[in-house]
A and B are shown apart, each in its own frame.
Chain A
Amino acid sequence: MTGLGDRFIPVMTILLGIVAAWYIGAYALNAPFQRGLNERAGETPGFVEFVGQTMSQPKPTLPAPHQVAVNFFENTFLRSVTSARSLVYHAWVTLSSTLLGFAFGTVLGIAIAVGIVHVLALDRSLMPWIIASQTIPILALAPMIIVVLAAVGITGLLPKALISTYLSFFPVAVGMVKGLRSPEAINLDLMRTYNASKAETFWKLRLPASVPFLFASMKVAIAASLVGAIVGELPTGAAAGIGAKLLNGSYYSQTIDMFSALVAGSIVAALLVTAVGATGRVVERAMGARPA
C-alpha cells in the first residue's frame, strides 16, 4: 500500500497539529476566566496545576479535546438510547428527518431533471429558477416554515424533512440533468438506428449513463439534507435532535455539550456520505463499471 505513506502520515500529522492547536487555544481562551477565579479564591497555583485547571472547567470558553471526548463517550455509550440525554437518541431524531428529506429531495430532483431533459419549455423556463432558488437562504425560512406548518396542524418530522428536501433537491437536479445529457451523440444516434422510442432511450441509455452523476450529487445532497434537518430543529422549541442540543447548549452555556453535539453531527455526516459513496460503488460495479 503506497497510500499509507502518501496519505496517512500527512493527514495524521495535520490532525495532530489541529489537536495541539486546540489544546493551546483552550488554554489561552480559558486562562483569563480561571485567573480571575483563582484571584478571588486567593489561590496561586503553579503553572502545571493552572494548565490543568483551564482544561477542567465545567463551562469553559473552549473545552479541551479530552473533555469533549469524555462527554461524547458518556452521552453515547453509557446512557440508554431512549434517554433524552443520549446523543444516540438525538442523532436518531435528526437522522430520521434527514433521510426522509433526502428521499423526497432525490425523487423531486430526478423528476425535475427528467422534465428538463425532455421538455424544452421546462429547460428554458425552470433551469434559471432552480439556480436562483439556491440563492434564497432557505435556512432563514426554516423557522417560518415550521411555525406556519404547525399552525395548520403539521408537526413533527415532516416540516423538518421539507427543509431538507429543499436543500437536497438542487444538487440532484443539476447533477441528473448533466447525467441524463451525458450520453454522446454517437450513442444517441445508435439508439435512433435501433428505432428506439424516447422511453426506451431513457431507460436503456440515458438512465444508466446518469448513475455515476446521481451518486456524486447524492453525496452532496445528503450532507445538505443533514444541515437542513439540524437547522430545522432550532425553532421547534429545542425538543429533540442535534440542532436542539446545540440550541440548549447555547442557552445554558454548556460548551462541552455543544461540542459533543457537533461531533455527533459530524460523525452522522461522515457516515451518511460514506454510505452513499459505498452504495454508489456497489451499484456501479453491479452495472459493470470497472473499478477505478
Chain B
Amino acid sequence: MSNVLRDWQSSAALVLALLSIVLPLTDAGSVGLKAVLVLLVITAAVAAIAVRAGLLLVVILFVGAHLAAWLLLQSLGGKTGMAGPSYYFLLAAAWLLAWRLVTVLSALKIDNRAGDLAIRLGIPLLFGIWVLILWEAIVRGAGVPFVLLPPPSAIAARIAGSVSTLAADVNQTIVKAVLIGYALGCTAGFAAAILADRFGFLRRGLLPIGNMVSALPIIGVAPIMVMWFGFDWPSKAAVVVIMTFFPMLVNTVTGLAASGHMERDLMRTYAAGYWQTLASLRLPAAMPFIFNALKINSTLALIGAIVAEFFGTPVVGMGFRISTEVGRMNIDMVWAEIAVAALAGSVFYGVIALLERVVTFWHPSIRGG
C-alpha cells in the first residue's frame, strides 16, 4: 500500500486509464487502438508501482509514457478537434508516467561520470520533449485554430521547407548585425573599463552612470539609430553596440577590483608595473565577471538586433520576417523564425559558456562542478 501512495503519479495514471475505459477516445476512433492504449497505460502503471526502483523501472516508465503518447497522436489520424474525454485522460496518464520517470531519474545515483552527465542532460531533454508532446497533442486534439498556435510538427515542416529564407535571415540579422555589433560593443566596453581603471576619477564618474544606464530601456534608441544609419544592418549593429557597452563596462570594472590585496602586494614586491599587474593578475581574476557580461550581452545583442528591425529593414532579416508574417497570418513561419532565433541564442550562449570553462578553469564554480 505504501508503494501506491509513494508513487502517486503512477497510481493517478492507473485511475485515469481505468476511467477512460468507459469514455470515448475520439469521435471516430477505433476501439482496438483504444484497448491497446488503455492496456498499455495500465500495464506500465501497475509495473511501475510493483517495481520499486532501478533500471527496469526507468525502462518501463520510458517505454510506457512515450509509446502511449505516440499511439495517442496516431489515434487522431490527421483529423483535428476530434478528441473525446478519454483522449485527455490517457494523455494526462502518459504525462504522469513521464513525471514519475523524471522523479525516478532525479533520485538516481550513478557513480561513473558519463552516466551522471547523461542523466543531467537527459532530464531537461525529457522535460522539453514533453512540452512539445503536450503542445502537439492538445493543439491537435482540441483543434486550436492554426493561426493561434500551430502544432510543433507544422513548425518543423515549415523550417524544413524554407531553409533558404531562414538562412538569409540568419545571415542578415545574426552574422552581420549581432556578431559585428557584439564584437564592437564588448570591445569598446572593455577598453572603456581599462581606461576607467587606469584613471580613478573616470571610474568614480563612469560607474554610477553606467549602473544607471544599465537599468534604462536602451532598446528605445533603436528608431533613432535606424534614422541615423539607414535601414540596413549597420543601424542594428549600432543598437547592439549601445546595448552591450554598459554591461561590459560595469562588469569589467567590478572584475578588475576582484583580485585580493595579498596578490597585488605580491606583484608589487616583484616590482611589476601597472600593465604587467593587469595582464598577469588582474585581468585573469576579472575573467569570471567579463564572461558574465559576455553572457548577458549575448541575449541582449539578439534582442536588440531583432527589435531594431521592427523600425525599418531591407526585405530580409529575422525581425522583418516576424513582423511581416504576423501581418500575413503565417504564424507557422513566425514560430519557425522564433525556433531558429532560440537555437541561435542557445548556441551563442553555449559557446561562451564553453569558452568560460576553458579560460576560467581555476574558478571554484567550475572546479567544483
A interface vs B, CB < 8 Å?
6-7, 10-15, 29, 61-62, 120-121, 123-129, 132, 134-141, 143-144, 147-148, 151-152, 219, 223, 226-227, 230-231, 234-235, 242-243, 246-247, 249-250, 253, 255, 258-259, 261-262, 265-266, 269-270, 273
Contacts and interface: CB of A to CB of B under 8 A. Distances in A.
A129 B99 contact: no
Given A11-B204, A125-B127, A140 B322 contact: yes
Nearest to A229: B217
A143 B323 contact: yes
Contact of B307 (A13, A127, A231): A231
A262 B220 contact: yes
A253 to B, nearest CB: 7
12 contacts: A6-B204, A29-B228, A121-B106, A135-B299, A137-B302, A140-B307, A140-B337, A235-B326, A246-B223, A250-B224, A258-B223, A261-B220
Interface residues of B, number: 60
Contacts of A136: 338, 341-342, 345
Interface string B305-331: 011001110000011001100100001
A258 B225 CA distance: 11
B208 interface: yes
A140 B303 CA distance: 7
A162 to B, nearest CB: 14
Interface string B62-80: 0000000000000000000
B331 A132 contact: no
B161 interface: no
Contact of A235 (B124, B215, B323): B323
Q: Which 3 A-B pairs have the closest CB atoms?
A: A135-B345, A10-B205, A250-B223
B348 A135 contact: yes
Given A120-B107, A139-B307, A129 B124 contact: yes
A231 B223 contact: no
Q: With a 10 A CB-CB cut-off, give which of B203, B206, B208, B303 has the most chain A CB atoms.
A: B303
A137 B303 contact: yes
A253 B227 contact: yes
B123 A227 contact: no
B206 A14 contact: yes
Contacts of A124: 102, 105-106, 120, 123-124
A278 B106 CA distance: 41
Nearest to A146: B326
A155 to B, nearest CB: 15
Contacts of B99: 121
B124 A230 contact: no
B208 A7 contact: yes
B254 to A, nearest CB: 15
A265 B216 contact: yes
B258 interface: no
A231 B300 CA distance: 14
B244 to A, nearest CB: 14
A261 to B, nearest CB: 7
A266 B345 contact: no
B271 interface: no
A230 B223 CA distance: 13
A261 B216 CA distance: 12
Contacts of B39: none
Contacts of B123: 121, 124-125
Contacts of A223: 214-217
B219 interface: yes
A207 to B, nearest CB: 24
Contact of B148 (A6, A152, A219): A152
B209 to A, nearest CB: 6
A235 B120 CA distance: 40
B103 interface: yes
Nearest to B318: A140
Scoring A7, A62, A148 by chain B CB atoms within 10 A of each residue's CB, the highest score goes to: A148
Given A124-B124, A262-B220, A134 B299 contact: yes
Contacts of B342: 132, 135-137
